[in-house]
Amino acid sequence: MYEGPVQNLIDEFGKLPGIGPKSAQRLAFHLLQAEPESVERLRSALQAVVEGVTYCEVCGTVAASERCRICSDPRRDPTLICVVEEPKDIEAIERTREFRGLYHVLGGALDPINGIGPNELRIAGLMRRVGGEVDGEEIAEIIIATDPNTTGEATSTYLARLLRPFPDLIVSRLASGLPMGADLEFADELTLGSALSGRRILSGGPAQAARSGGVLRPEQVDPAQPAVPAPGASASAPADPAAGPEIGYPGTESEAEESRGVSVPHRP
């Protein structure tokens, strides 16, 4: 529509995520009317991003030095690692003020259709961190916080399988369900089903019979209480102490359930 540098600038703005043709046009004409000092600051900032941005050698997020501020903080718990897809996900979790461990940025999610496999992500770096020690302490728990979509669930399942050979390592997945302030009538089937399967006990003991909606998972039952045998299971069969704790849905694991990752109790 326009000619010369203006149209070139509009085209470049239009390539940015979330910027449509109208927004790109407004940005271009805003720069045409802006003060030269403002344009120069923008140019300097863009140049600094290209030349000066580094990535943390530990977690892989953007940083101003070899280590980011989180990995350099001695108050963080080095035995607890939260795995995210992008650096922006770290800020979202930090806003909750509920997590005091470290992070690991994968740099995306598994997407074979677009040519993104394990070698394109920082999965090898995560395995090295799990296999090593930090300040003489081993990693105790990995929290998989990938997006709750197709690629995020595939990445979660893949990581859970890779980490199974570590018997003392707890692997958990962020819960999903209804958001605060939502109405049930507007919830989709997948979200509501996930909220039902991940429900937690408010009162009452586990000795009650299983109700419609599924059997409570092991992490939803107080370990101090006797476990309720699954439907059809023999109540007289003793548990084998050498078999170790079951992970996920004992004896009823399916591909649909396995895609949710490994479900285990949170580390105290």
Structure-token match 């919830």, residue found: 187
Model pLDDT, residue 126: 93
Tell me the mean pLDDT in the region 73-91: 93
The domain 73-200+253-268 is placed in CATH, from the list 3.30.70.20, 3.40.1360.10, 3.30.2310.20, 1.20.58.1690, at: 3.40.1360.10
Q: Round to whole Å and give the CA distance between 176 and 198.
A: 8
Our CA dihedral for 26, 29, 30, 32, rounded to 10 degrees, sits at 170
pLDDT, mean of residues 224-249:
46
Residue 224: what pLDDT?
52
Please, are residues 149 and 120 in contact by the beta-carbon 8 Å criterion? no
Predicted pLDDT of residue 65: 81
Whole-model pTM?
0.66
- For residues 230 and 246, the answer to whether their CB atoms sit within 8 Å is no
5-52 and 73-200+253-268: same fold?
no
Residue 207's pLDDT is 54
Query: Do 248 and 197 contact (CB within 8 A), yes or no?
Result: no
The per-residue pLDDT for 210 is 46
Contact 206, 196 (CB under 8 A): no
How do residues 50-66 score in pLDDT, each as one tens digit?
Answer: 877 888 999 999 887 88
Candidates 76, 88, 183, 215; CA nearest to 145 is 88
Q: Are 63 and 56 in contact (CB under 8 A)?
A: yes
Number of H helices, E strands in the chain: 8, 8
Q: Please write the tens of the pLDDT for every residue from 148-200.
A: 899 999 999 999 999 999 988 999 998 888 888 888 888 888 888 888 887 77
Label residues 46-66 b or e (16+ Cβ within 10 Å = b).
eeeeeeeeebbebbbbebeee
For residues 39 and 50, give the distance between their C-alpha atoms in angstroms, rounded to a whole number: 17
Say whether pLDDT at 94 is over 50: yes
Q: How far is CA 246 from CA 109, 138, 235, 240, in A?
A: 28, 22, 17, 11
Q: Which amino acid is at 261?
A: G
pLDDT digits (tens, 9 = 90+) for 13-54: 999 988 999 999 999 999 989 898 999 999 888 888 887 788
Q: Supply the pLDDT for residue 88.
A: 92
Distance CA 220, CA 248 (A): 11
Architecture of the domain delimited by 5-52: Orthogonal Bundle (1.10)
* Average per-residue pLDDT for the chain: 78
pLDDT in tens, 109-136: 999 999 999 999 999 999 999 988 666 6
Give the C-alpha separation, 156 to 181, whole Å. Answer: 27
pLDDT tens per residue across span 192-232: 888 888 777 777 755 555 454 454 555 555 555 454 454 44
Alpha-carbon torsion angle 96, 98, 104, 110, nearest 10? -60
For residues 248 and 5, which has the higher predicted lDDT (pLDDT)? 5
265 or 73: which carries more pLDDT confidence?
A: 73
Q: Where in the chain are the domains? A: 5-52, 73-200+253-268
